[in-house]
Amino acid sequence: MKNTPRGYCICPEGGIKLKKETYDVTGMSCAACSSRVEKAVAKQPGAQQVAVNLLKNSMVVEYDESQLSSAQIIAAVEKAGYGASLHAKPGSAPAAQTAETGGASAAQKAYSDMKKRLALSLLFTIPLFYLSMGHMMGWPLPACFLGTENAMTFAFTQFLLLLPIVYINRQYYIVGFKTLWQRSPNMDSLIALGSSAAIVYGIYAIYKIGIGFGRMDMDTVHTYMMELYFESAGTILTLITMGKTMEARAKGKTSDAITKLMDLAPKTATVERNGVESVIPVEEVQLGDVLIVKAGESVPVDGVVLEGTSSVDESALTGESIPVEKQAGDSVIGATINKSGYFKMRATKVGDDTALSQIVRLVDEATSSKAPIAKLADKVSGVFVPVVITIAVIATAAWLLTGHSVEFALSIGISVLVISCPCALGLATPTAIMVGTGRGAVNGILIKSAEALETTHSVNTVVLDKTGTITQGKPVVTDVVDGGIGRDKLLSVAASLEKLSEHPLSEAIVAEAEKESLTFLSVDKFEQIPGQGIRGEVEGQLCLAGNRRMMEANRIENSELLAQGEALAEDGKTPLYFALDGKLIGLIAVADVVKPTSAQAIAELSSMGIEVVMLTGDNAKTAEAIILADDKLDNLHHQTFDLALSDDITRQQTVDIVLLGRFLERLGDHAVSAARRVVYIVSGFDPTKEPTRDEGTDID
């Protein structure tokens, strides 16, 4: 099946054009609900694939629009006893209005509502439980509740405490009995039946207590005083609500992670049409539009630079901390930040086709996917409810047929229903998967699918990205070489000038000066030179700071310092040269160094029998420098293309390994830290070729 823009795909069989849409589904509370919705939509003519996510209350449908429509899909869901509506896309009018009004997301609102329900339920459940069970535990109770003579007060007070709990959690009864009436019982049906049976029997016991008092039959009063089930009903409802609250919290965290990704995208863009500049919403940008991006602004959409030079921070998407130099002909990615310079670009991808939108969609689809174990749980849950109800009926009938009283037989049936109410089977698996993928998303971990998460235990090779994974992801000063003016003086001059720049390398130098408590000097006439560096007057003296190209452009030479700079560059460091009044006064080397915790994590992975691979877009010299920086990273070998081109591993498997590698590495960062043995280096390019900065450090 071939994907096409705007939610369409082409099936090779017969050239059928399928439409893929996402729906918001309401009224679902368990796996039986999701199974019911899936079956209702799947049996519609033209429906090809249906995936319902219980925890997200969403449904993804692929269908042949020549046979089926959105209205028919919604009608099928409603006929099954639930509600459905098309999911609003990011940037759509409803979504935009929600953002403008500052309204909370649906997931956050649901979590807030569930917290209130839980708090109110606990407010009445705790005293109900204390009153009903306190005398068994030896807890002190007021005299008015003790003794057979106070049985009516004891029983009726429990009933009054239960009523608010039932009202607060009435949704279980509304949905449960509705689906039961439609002959599609779900977990809510089980909750409603179990708690209702306990309530009805408790009311029956109150009447028996009253009848016992009327006949002065204290034995009957005492018997039914001990057979109240009000606390069982209240506890069931409260515990289920507690589980739903935890579930809503997991949903909210995942929703927040996706929202944070979406927030990376700018809301407006400066477009040039017919020679006139205007600011428009980013949703209105069209393919081929010429856009203007100034220093400090975010790139609106994916495109290619037409004119101008700039330094673009792509760390939000690639993890690469050092900005990438851009010039005419270079590609730029939406949501990245223009750190310096000015350029015009042509939009090549807009809307759902941008790299950021695809990342958001991938995260969203990952949380919607089902692992094999979850699919098994859904199948079991689909028959669990009717089976439990049947067992309860059979148990009640069996005890009646054996000559026991109606009260005893009903108590057996109620016990079966009550014990089955928590329904962990239908909730545990999808909740665990949702929490896992959601927690990963919060920590910057992209899990491709629930199936990938489930099969992680069988991974034997882990591929780690270098920048930000093995390394700290933030440049620091590694070397300071002065040309005769002294180390502190060089750092002071350099930091004073670099403090006015927003470049990450500048921030590293400023941080080093602050760490050593050096004095910052006054700077005038500060100017950025695209592709070279910066300049300004430091205490009246012209100071230049930048790369070797800048020194050569200004005819500043110092063979010894330049040679040292080249040597540092070969070690994988970035040398920055500093000149004062036309003379080279020194250089400062900056690098993204290996994390101090990297050795331990790779050691842990290695001890598990997992082969560790380092993936880098840097040149071979930089990669080798990373290796040599830690003597524990000593078992490296060169199988770069063997892994990628092996007949034993497909391209898709390679991608899966990379994604799983990132997942395990991030987990290592938080749990056991990162790296002892890097056994492989891969750049994605011919090893004899020197990759450019523009080629990045990530993979597609």
Beta-carbon contacts of residue 488 (< 8 Å; ≥ 6 apart): 516, 518
User: Going by DSSP bridges, is the β-strand pair 583-591/83-86 parallel, antiparallel, or unpaired?
Assistant: unpaired
Q: What is the CA radius of gyration of the chain?
A: 33
Helix (H) or strand (E) holding 537: strand 533-538
Kindly tell me the sign of the dihedral angle through the C-alpha atoms of 654, 659, 662, 668.
negative
Strands, DSSP E only, in 314-442?
Answer: 324-326, 331-332, 337-349
Instruction: Work out the angle at residue 104's Cα, subtended by the Cα atoms of residues 100 and 110, and round it to the nearest 5 degrees.
Output: 155
What is the token pair recorded at 496?
Answer: 């004073």
**Packing angle between helix 424-442 and helix 355-368, nearest 10 degrees?**
160
The counts of H helices and E strands in the chain are: 23, 22
Task: Verify whether residue 465 is a known catalytic residue.
Answer: yes
- 179: nearest Cα among 373, 392, 34: 34
Q: How far apart are CA 293 and CA 482, in angstroms?
A: 38
Check: CB of residue 421 under 8 Å from CB of residue 186. no
Q: How far apart are CA 307 and CA 640, in angstroms?
A: 37
- 594: nearest Cα among 664, 659, 674, 666: 674
Neighbours of 162 (CB within 10 A): 26
Residue 63, beta-bridge partner list: 19, 47
Q: Starting from the edge strand earliest in sequence, which strands make up the sheet with 681-682, in order?
A: 461-465, 611-615, 681-682
- 287: nearest Cα among 67, 5, 641: 5
Q: How far apart are CA 232 and CA 238, in angstroms?
A: 10
Which residue in the list 188, 313, 378, 465 is annotated as catalytic? 465
Q: Give the 3-state secondary structure of 626-681.
A: HHHCCCCCCCCCCCHHHHHHCCCCCHHHHHHHHHHHHHHHHHHHHHCCCCCCCCCE
Instruction: Work out the angle at residue 63's Cα, subtended by the Cα atoms of residues 62 and 68, and round it to the nearest 5 degrees.
Output: 145
| C-alpha distance across the termini of the chain, in Å | 20
- 368: nearest Cα among 514, 456, 254, 444: 254
DSSP state of 323: P
DSSP string, 381-408: HHHHHHHHHHHHHHHHHHHHHTT--HHH
Residue 62's SS3 state is strand
User: Going by DSSP bridges, is the β-strand pair 331-332/533-538 parallel, antiparallel, or unpaired?
Assistant: unpaired
Q: How far apart are CA 212 and CA 222, in angstroms?
A: 9
Q: How far apart are CA 201 and CA 660, in angstroms?
A: 54
Q: At 264, give phi and psi (nearest 5°).
A: -65, -30
Q: How far apart are CA 343 and CA 355, in angstroms?
A: 20
What count of residues does the chain have? 700
Q: How far apart are CA 72 and CA 52, in angstroms?
A: 17
Half-sphere exposure of 202 (CA within 13 A, CB side): 24
Residues identified as active-site:
465
